[in-house]
Structure 1
Amino acid sequence: MSEEVVLKARIRARTGTSLVRRLRKEGDVPAVLYGAGKENLSIAVNHDLLFHSLEREEFFSQVITIDTDGKRERAILRDVQRHPHKTRILHADFQRIDENKPIHIALPIHYFGEDECLGVRIDGGMISHLMNEVEVTCLPKDLPEHIEMNVSELRLGQSLHLSDIQLPEGVQITAFTHGDIHEHDNAVVAVQATRVSAKSEVPDEQVGEEEAVADADTDTDADTGEEE
């Protein structure tokens, strides 16, 4: 479990386009705190504080404490709207959590063992990350910061699937709660052949045949030239 992250906020008593513009001009980001059977709460968060918090990967996948004028509520970040051309945050949505109810949240995948990967070091392949995050379901108290996958033993042509992920107790892959596990057991990472390694796997006999065909084509072209 990560350290508690506290985000200071203040209540926005009034809403509207002109007020939102004024907020942004003053260096704040309009946001909404919703869920857990309570009314939506319009809040404002300091832009720079939120901006730098968003630079941390774990901010997207951990429980945050929203301190609104002294009242603390636990929530997770659900959505962020950014300016299309400027490094500005325009809006944020935070969802309250119930400590006794499961949450669904996407966690980043951290791959390790890539330098020792047999499929790269011995087979000459290339590691391909097919997923960078995976959605899990768990109680807030069981939420890990990220998911880890060891790729050191992967050989060329092999892959690891969702079912290969080692999860902490109390954490489930959300996709597996929707039905047949095999139906949703997607590949997460694989070792694939590079162009160089793919060429090196062509049998010598086949290479010889291709060269013979090429020589025959050359001879045919030469004969055609003499007739002309």
Structure 2
Amino acid sequence: MAKSHEIKVARRDVQGKGASRRLRHAGVVPGIVYGGDREPAMVEFNHNEIWLAQHNDWFYSSIIGLNLDGQVQKVLLRDIQRHPYKQLIMHLDFQRVNENEVLHATVPLHFINEEVSPAGKAADVAVTHELKEVNIACLPGNLPQSIEVDLAELKAGDIIYLSQIKLPAGVEIPALKLGKDHDDAVVIAKAPTAAAEEDEAAAE
């Protein structure tokens, strides 16, 4: 289940590139909150608070409570714009969520027990993580911060597909409804012979 996280936010009265630039110089991040049955709201965030928050997985895949004028709105991050080389958040987009409506989100995959698996213990087996995140659908109350992929039984030559991932209750992967062609590989444990043949092919 998603944990509760709250961020304070203030209403933004000024708009435009010049105004946004002045806000950033003052340590403030401009943003917008949209969706639901309310009008879009132009808002601003404390940059230091956002900078610390964006280092956590929950910032990208959890329901966040935005405290605006004393009222908490439940939202999900939809876009974050960063400066190309400075440690600076440029803009944030949040979408309001309805507890009774299914939402679509991207959550990270966390791989566990790889080091104790037969494949992980074998020096000549190459284990590759083909996917780092997955698109899911669920009600807001069932939104996981991440999804674990247990590799304890992984052996040389094994392939773990999306359909084999154990999902939390109330969570599904919409892509799997589109057919086998969308059942992508998540983890591949390449056997020594297969790895060697690929290296030879690449060299040729």
Q: Normalized against structure 2, the TM-score is what?
A: 0.90
Q: Deviation per CA, 1:107-140, whole angstroms, max 9, x where unpaired?
A: 1111111111212324730210000000100000
CA contact (8 A) 1:162 1:185 kept: yes
Tell me the SS of whatever aligns to 1:49: helix
- Percent identity for Structure 1 against Structure 2: 36
Distance 2:194 2:102 in 1: 47
Q: Please report how far the alpha carbon of residue 69 of structure 1 lies from its aligned counterpart in structure 2 after TM superposition.
A: 1.8
The residue number in structure 1 matching 2:51 is: 51
Kindly indicate whether residue 144 of structure 2 is the aligned counterpart of residue 132 of structure 1: no
Gapped regions of structure 1 (runs ≥ 5) = 200-228
Equivalences for residues 155-170 of structure 1 within 5 A: 155-170=155-170
Is the helix fraction higher in 1 or 2? 1
Structure 2 residue 37 is matched with structure 1 residue 71: no
Q: Deviations over 1:142-179 (max 9, x none)?
A: 111111111121222211000001112211002124xx
- TM superposition outliers: structure 1 runs of 4+ over 3 Å: 193-199
Question: Cα RMSD over matched residues?
Answer: 1.9
Report if the CA contact (8 A) 2:114-2:154 is conserved: no
Report the CA distance between 1:29 and its aligned residue. Answer: 0.1
Amino acid at match of 1:36: G
The residue number in structure 1 matching 2:111 is 111
Q: Secondary structure at the match of 1:37?
A: coil
- TM-score, normalisation: structure 1: 0.81
Distance 2:43 2:195 in 1: 56
Q: Whose Rg is larger?
A: 1
Instruction: Provide the C-alpha distance between the structure 1 equivalents of 2:144 and 2:21, rounded to a whole number of angstroms.
Output: 37
Higher RCO structure (Cα 8 Å, ≥6 apart): 2
Equivalent residues of 2:60, 2:76 under 8 A apart: yes
SS of equivalent residue, structure 1 residue 115? helix
Aligned to 2:186: 188
Amino acid corresponding to residue 167 of structure 1 in structure 2: L
Matched residues in 2 for 1:56 and 1:70: separation?
25
Residue deviations 1:27-84 (CA, integer Å, cap 9, x gap): 1000000111321110000001001000112210000001112121000011100001
Task: Count residues with an aligned counterpart.
Answer: 197
Offset, 1:197:
7.2
Give the deviation of 1:3 after TM superposition: 2.9
The one-letter code sitting in structure 2 at the alignment partner of 1:182 is K
Unaligned runs of 5+ in 2: 198-204
Shift of 1:194: 5.5
Structure 1 Cα separation of the partners of residues 59 and 141 of structure 2: 16
Partner of 1:85: 85
